[in-house]
Amino acid sequence: MSRHMHIDALGGLSGDMFAAAMLSALPEAAERLRADLHDAGLDEHVALDIAEIRKSGFAATQLSFDIAAEAPPTHHWSDIRRMIEATALRAPVKQAAIAIFTGLAEAEAACHGIAVERVHFHEIADWDSIADIIAAASLIDSAGAASWSCSELPLGGGRVRTQHGLIPVPVPATAHLLTGFRFVDDGVAGERVTPTGAAILRHLAPRQGAAPAGLVLRGSGTGAGQRELEGIPNICRLLCFETADDRDLVGSIAFEIDDMTPEEISVALDRIRAGEGVLDAGYTLGHGKKSRIRYNVTVLSQPHLVEDVARLCLEETSTIGLRLEPLRRQILRRRAGRVQGLRSKTVDRPGGATTKIESDDLAGIATLAARRAAGGGTADG
């Protein structure tokens, strides 16, 4: 079984909202989270507080960090990176935390027109954000999800006061990080997605829209933000899905091509078939506009890698558009064996088991009649 996590950012998303929703959905991860915060060396300056509250009538988990008054400043990205690298954090948590922070630093650098190493996180609550990001990295690792998706993101509106003065929402770093994401204007103003929340989303690279079809819902969690919003609960809901069997769900990518030669399409499909996560690729011939010969291409992939395979299709062919959808499939139980020394595959069909000799093992037999005779035996193992 594999896990898929879906983020429904109803009220928005911040670092603490994400971590709270994850803890709500995966309460068993709390002990490991506390251990990771300790291994990150945060105990001296940061105290984790997890509370069960009601937010606009909904039961929710709220997470916050109490920062010691004597905690030293650690604003610069270069300082923060060195600090995280020197900790005793587990390797995957350390890597995820650095990746999230790197995205945030690159966004700030782009917005201010400076080198990444000179980024100064004066708009972020210092130790609080370090704790948020390490908590997010810890919980992402605990979830062990093979894939992620998220809803459309609330746009928000208005302005927020910063050390640079009043700036519009979404703030520049958030807008930079979420380029390519879809937003919805629900009419509620304010900063709905924070830079830290945006950096977490950019790191997860979720597909947007509903969770893939054919999954089994195993649990859910609700994380609460700190503010109260007018007319909408300031919560983030997280849905935790699993596949009953990885083989039951595949990703389907379909497209048409009418401007590649047979040689080019042959090479392209060979390269696509060799891609990670690709299960099969093929085409049928048809006629398109202006009576051109058209290749109707279908590629099947592992469901959590469909976006990567789609990108490969765009790189290897001349198509300018793809159709992506999840498909359920039914697979008969099969087992390997041998017939008279030749490899075979036996399949349990509704009417009884059938056996077929592997084609590669028949290829060395001299004539068609002999190959057909050798291919019609019964499995012996």
CA 158 to chain centre: 30
Delimiting residues of CATH 3.30.70.1380 domain(s) in the chain: 247-328
| C-alpha to C-alpha distances, 93 to 24, 27, 125, nearest whole angstrom | 20, 18, 21
User: In angstroms, rounded to a whole number, what is the distance separating the alpha carbons of residues 162 and 353?
Assistant: 71
Evaluate whether 1 touches 245 at the Cβ level (below 8 Å). Answer: yes
Q: Where are the beta strands (DSSP E) in 44-201?
A: 46-55, 58-67, 147-150, 153-154, 159-162, 165-168, 183-184
The class of domain 247-328 in CATH terms is alpha beta
Evaluate whether 174 touches 108 at the Cβ level (below 8 Å). Answer: no
User: In angstroms, rounded to a whole number, what is the distance separating the alpha carbons of residues 164 and 113?
Assistant: 14
Evaluate whether 286 touches 294 at the Cβ level (below 8 Å). Answer: yes
CB atoms inside a 10 Å sphere around CB 234: 24
User: In angstroms, rounded to a whole number, what is the distance separating the alpha carbons of residues 242 and 286?
Assistant: 38
Averaged over 197-213, what is the pLDDT? 90
Q: Kindly report, residue by residue over 121-168, the tens digit of the pLDDT.
A: 654 447 888 999 999 999 999 999 988 999 999 999 999 887 777 889
Instruction: State the burial class of residue 351 (Cβ atoms within 10 Å of its Cβ: 0-12, 13-18, 19+).
Output: exposed
Averaged over 24-33, what is the pLDDT? 96
Evaluate whether 377 touches 339 at the Cβ level (below 8 Å). Answer: yes
Averaged over 104-128, what is the pLDDT? 77
| Assigned token pair, 380 | 């012996």
Evaluate whether 299 touches 281 at the Cβ level (below 8 Å). Answer: yes
Backbone angles phi, psi at 140, to 5 degrees: -60, -45
Q: Kindly report, residue by residue over 309-320, the tens digit of the pLDDT.
A: 999 999 999 999
Single out the residue of 325, 278, 330, 267 nearest to residue 300, CA to CA: 278
| Assigned token pair, 111 | 């917005």
Q: Which residue has the tokens 């039961």?
A: 59
pLDDT for the residue 378: 47
Q: Which residue has the tokens 């028949």?
A: 362
Residue 227 is classified by DSSP as S
For the chain, state the CA radius of gyration: 26
Percentage of the residues of the chain whose pLDDT score is greater than 90: 61
Bigger pLDDT: 186 vs 372: 186
Spell out a b/e string for 79-91, using b for 16 or more CB atoms within 10 Å of the CB, else e: ebbeebeebebbe
Report the predicted TM-score, pTM, of the whole model to 2 decimal places.
0.70
Kind and range of the H or E element at 261?
A: none
Provide the pLDDT confidence category of residue 351 given band limits of 50, 70 and 90.
Answer: confident
Evaluate whether 249 touches 326 at the Cβ level (below 8 Å). Answer: yes
CA 196 to chain centre: 17
